[in-house]
Each structure stands twice: as structure tokens, then as C-alpha cells.
Amino acid sequence: MRFGKDQSGATAVEFAIMLPMFLALIFGIVVFGSYLTMVHGVQQLAAEAARTSVAGLSDSERNSLATSYVTSSVGSYPLLDAAKINVVAAPSSSDPNAYIVKVNYDASASFIFALPFVPPLPQSISRSAVIPNGGF
């Protein structure tokens, strides 16, 4: 009856049961953290581009300032590819005193979409920022 009281392999069995759940948790943190990092980067680019566009005197100058800001700053976001970003800056159609900067990012080629068992996440990230003319 020594077999019923022997506990020598209990830790190994518990480890074998818990390891897949632990790895799934870590994998989920990495995948969703990477995706949220991309979303946050696109939002930050839109907000800063909108702030930069305030310095322009005309709509074309504001558009140029917003686009050049995003183009020059996207390199500081490690998960974003500059070739996949699109910037649209224009006056608001509903408020003539507001300017909208919209940044679109095609994340379909990102490494997280190539990983197995990743739930369907939006592959196109679109964020915008609105700023009043004059900046306040």
C-alpha cells in the first residue's frame, strides 16, 4: 500500500497540468500587448500630427505639416511600418473651426497575425484627432 501514499511525482504532474495554461496566458499577453502597442502608436501619431497642424496658415499647409510629422516620427514606434501608414488631414465637415487628422495603418503584415491561435483582430487600425483652429 505504499503506492497510495507516495507523493514523489506530484510536483511533476502539477507542472505538466499547469504549464499549457501558463504558456497560453503569457502568449496572450504578448499578442494583445503588441496589438495594443500598435493601436496606441497610431493614436499618438494622430494626436501629435493634429497638434503640429495648428501651425499651418492654410488647409494645404496644415495637411503638409501633419503628413510630414507622421512620416518623420513613425520610425520611433518599433512595431509600425512607415510604408503602411496613410494620413488624411482636412477641415471638419461639421465644424468649420476644427481640423481633423486621421491616421490609417495596415497591420495585416504584422507578425502577430502570422502566429497560430490568435483570435481575429482588426487588421486595419484607424485613429483620428480633432483640434480647433488656433489650437485652443
Query: Does residue 2 lie within any of the structural domains?
Result: no
| Residues 83-116 pLDDT 10s | 999 999 999 888 888 899 999 999 988 888 888 8
Q: What pTM does this model have?
A: 0.82
1 inside domain: no
pLDDT band at 127 (very low <50, low <70, confident <90, very high): very high
Contact between 70 and 85 under an 8 Å Cβ cutoff? The reply is: yes
Work out how many domains the chain is built from and give that number. 1
Is 123 contained in some domain?
yes
Write out the DSSP string of 25-84. Answer: HHHHHHHHHHHHHHHHHHHHHHHHHHHHHTT-SSHHHHHHHHHHHHHHHGGGSTT--GGG
Query: Which run of H or of E encompasses 102?
Result: strand 98-106
Q: What is the pLDDT of residues 10-43, one digit of tens each?
A: 888 899 999 999 998 998 898 899 999 999 999 9
> What's the mean pLDDT when you consider all of the chain?
89
**Average of per-residue pLDDT across 53-69:** 91
Does residue 135 carry a pLDDT above 70?
no
Please check whether residue 117 lies inside any domain of the structure.
yes
For 58, the domain range is 7-132
Side chain identity at 24, as an amino acid letter?
A: A
Q: Looking at the domain assignment, is residue 97 inside a domain?
A: yes
Say which amino acid occupies 85: I
pLDDT of residue 133: 79
Evaluate whether residue 20 is within a structural domain. Answer: yes
On whether residue 89 sits in a domain, the answer given is: yes
Helix axes 59-73, 10-53, angle to 10 degrees: 150
Asked whether residue 25 is domain-assigned, the answer is: yes
Give dist(CA 135, CA 105) in Å, integer: 25
